[in-house]
Amino acid sequence: MKPSDRRLAQRFRLAIPLFIRKWKTLTPETKVQSVNVSESGVYFETDTPPPEGEIVRIRFDMPTEITGDATAEWCCTCRVVGVRPTCPPGGLLGVGVRFDYYEITRIPRGARIGCLADSKR
């Protein structure tokens, strides 16, 4: 079976800001942009990818197109499931992550609450 046949959630080609950092650290977040997003994971390209298997925290605003509900901030604990060269090769690597756990915070327009688990920064 091809990996694309195993996908359970529809992917949406959306470029949204993602704020990523290694799990259980206070290192600064790195900002990248998604290539596609689903309810179960996200794919992005970067020149400094986390290693495959690493656990990371990703914070972003999940768009209405995916959930069918008002935009909400998602704070996700994720596992990096794949790191591959992009096509055509250009120095960037494509990173696929799977959401293992997430918290959803409904936010009023313009307000930033931040991840509950990250509130002790």
Separation of alpha carbons 78 and 42, rounded Å: 9
Separation of alpha carbons 88 and 58, rounded Å: 26
What fold characterizes domain 3-118? Thrombin, subunit H (2.40.10)
In the chain, domain spans: 3-118
pLDDT in tens, 59-115: 998 888 777 777 788 899 999 999 999 887 778 899 999 999 989 876 555 555 456
Strand-pair partners of 55 = 79
Cα–Cα separations (whole angstroms), residue 67 to 1, 18, 54, 111 = 28, 17, 26, 20
Contact 72, 61 (CB under 8 A): yes
pLDDT in tens, 76-88: 999 999 999 988 7
pLDDT in tens, 25-38: 998 999 999 999 98
